[in-house]
Amino acid sequence: MVTGILLSVAIVAGVGILIGLLLGIASNKLHVEVDEKEVAVLAALPGNNCGGCGFPGCSGLAAAIAKGEAPVGQCPVGGEPVAKVIAGIMGVEAGDEARKVAFVHCCGDADSASVKYEYYGAMDCRVIDQVPGGGPKTCEFGCLGGGTCVSVCPFDAIHVVNGIAVVDREVCKACGKCVAICPRHLITLIPYDAVQVVTCSSKDKGPVVMKACKTGCIGCGICAKNCPAGAVTVENNVAVIDHEKCTHCGLCAEKCPKKVIRKEIV
């Protein structure tokens, strides 16, 4: 009886030792070298995995930075503070990473934009844009108000207010998801400190715009003529501001007859 028990214990112990040896050999054979810089960079990233950097999550970005395939300031969520930490890990200069925010170039809300019919379908801008007439609004370039951008924002920084999408610049991390999903390409990333902004994207000529929206750009060019820095141009019948040239003098907003160019509160 005792001999049987001892034999069982010996067999179990032997099997355990054998498995341990096999696992040890396998561990050595299958061992993957870990890049310490990649691990450190990943730890420095915010961990949102939003994809705004263009890589599949923070781990993908960390690997790219460690290999020198992406700049240290690639993370839009972490911004300058994270860029400086990663620069220290990589032993490079961080540079100046200007903060950006998303902006919706449309002010054709329910009080300003005229409509052709009432819409009762799916509240998805990609669907609304494909219905007859390109949606219920007369303007074929304006915000559809379906909230598709809202649904993809991981930071709750964008909401539909009175029929158009509005970005909370203090919450926005410039991940770019709303920019990518908008079927009418109304959302762009602009500098956080941009003062003057164009709130229209209509490429129609003035008379057509005025029938469709009370606050649309008519492409008159008065803004461009009055800009001393040459930062404002009219392209495809709509004003465009080059924020790198803009000196924030405010003349374009002051002279705009339709008040399409407005001053942001920074």
Query: Tens digits of per-residue pLDDT, 174-185?
Result: 888 999 999 999
Q: How many CB atoms lie within 10 A of CB 44?
A: 23
pLDDT, average across residues 78-96: 82
Give the tens place of pLDDT for each residue, 224-252: 999 999 999 999 999 999 999 999 999 99
Mean per-residue pLDDT of the chain: 87
CB distance 163 to 138 below 8 Å: no
pLDDT greater at residue 212 or residue 66: 212
Return the pLDDT at 158: 97
Give the tens place of pLDDT for each residue, 3-61: 666 666 666 666 667 776 766 665 555 545 567 888 898 898 888 888 888 788 898 88
Q: DSSP assignment, residue 213?
A: B
Return the pLDDT at 77: 84
**What domains does the chain contain, in order, with CATH numbers?**
36-90 (1.10.15.40), 99-192 (3.30.70.20), 193-266 (3.30.70.20)
Beta bridge partners of 241: 232
Contacts of 73 (CB under 8 A, 6+ apart): 79, 80, 83, 86, 87, 94, 95, 97
What long-range pairs does 238-245 form, CB within 8 A, spacing at least 24? 238/198, 238/200, 238/201, 238/202, 238/203, 239/198, 239/200, 240/198, 241/194, 241/196, 241/197, 241/198, 243/190, 243/191, 243/194
CB distance 99 to 192 below 8 Å: yes
Position 130 confidence tier, pLDDT thresholds 50, 70, 90:
very high
Give the tens place of pLDDT for each residue, 189-214: 999 999 999 999 999 999 999 999 99
Closest CA to 124 of 182, 67, 47: 182
Return the pLDDT at 209: 96
